[in-house]
Amino acid sequence: MANIQWPEPLVVEPTGHHTHTLILLHGRGSNGERFGLELLQSRTTAGQTLAEHFPGLKFVFPTARKNRAVMFNRSMVNQWFHDYLQDGPRDTIYDGLEKTTEFIHRLIHDEAHIIGTSRIVIGGLSQGCAMSLHVLLNWQSNEPLLGYVGMSGYLPLASILDECFTEDGRGLVDAARDFASLPTHEWADSEGPTFTRTPMLLGHGVHDDRVSILLGREAKALFDRAGCDIQWKEYDEGHWYKVPDQLNDIVSWLQRVML
């Protein structure tokens, strides 16, 4: 895995003046182009695409490297990390969390040089949601990310993170950074976690047979406890985003955070 280069992300430039950037991670077995193009072709109730709603928004859809998935008889698939959801051995997860965190942090830094950290939204679908939730937790900087949007996801190692919870939220950051082999953050006396200042939107289908909605609710509850500004939406849907309902909610939420 360490010797394989990351594929080039699908980048869709804004049609107007660049004001914000949205970085979204695909689910296991997909890729940035497949996920991104389908999402960008979907339309809201108003008959518009996300790009039409937000002409100043740049879209970045990275692709996970291919490696052997234990869950799929060691077939080569695009995945952000090895995972058994909440069951199975944990040691298979950490290498992917480390390598992918390094990659996504690099994408965020690259965009921050162009547009600024406070104008970047991250998120993802399914395993991409799971991975980007960890990135949200382990991203600790002087400036918070603008927002987070997740679909049909969960929080890997949630039970361990729950045990590391502290009222000030620092315990979650410390644990997430440790999972990703990041340096221990040196906390200033008055400093708080960056992630608690990032508004969040999480959506999940009640009929999801791949990632139980109970896991999505579990993730939402943990971020709630940390004091995050989080919106939670449930849909009459399976393992996917619901069109047009969920797209409508994403547009409304983006309009609020991008003001």
What integer pLDDT is reported at residue 72 of this predicted model? 54
Cβ proximity of 222 and 136 under 8 Å: no
* Whole-number pLDDT of residue 74: 56
Q: Which helix (H) or strand (E) holds 60?
A: strand 57-61
10-257: CATH number:
3.40.50.1820
Residue type, 140: Q
* Boundaries of every domain in the chain: 10-257
Residues counted in the chain? 259
Which pLDDT value is given to residue 71?
Answer: 58
pLDDT in tens, the chain (259 residues): 344 589 999 999 999 999 999 999 999 999 999 999 999 999 999 999 999 999 999 999 999 998 766 655 556 889 999 876 544 456 678 888 999 999 999 999 999 999 999 999 999 999 999 999 999 999 999 899 999 999 999 999 999 999 999 999 999 999 999 999 999 999 999 899 999 999 999 999 999 999 999 999 999 999 999 999 999 999 999 999 999 999 999 999 999 999 8
The 3-state secondary structure of 169-231, one letter per residue: CHHHHHHHHHHCCCCCCCCCCCCCCCHHHCCEEEEEECCCCCCCHHHHHHHHHHHHHCCCCEE
pLDDT at 88: 45
The reported pLDDT for the residue numbered 58 is: 98
What is the arrangement of strands in the sheet containing 230-235, beginning at the earlier edge strand?
Answer: 10-12, 57-61, 20-25, 120-125, 147-151, 200-205, 230-235
SS3 content of the chain, % helix, strand, coil (to 5): 40, 20, 45
CB 63 within 8 A of CB 29: no
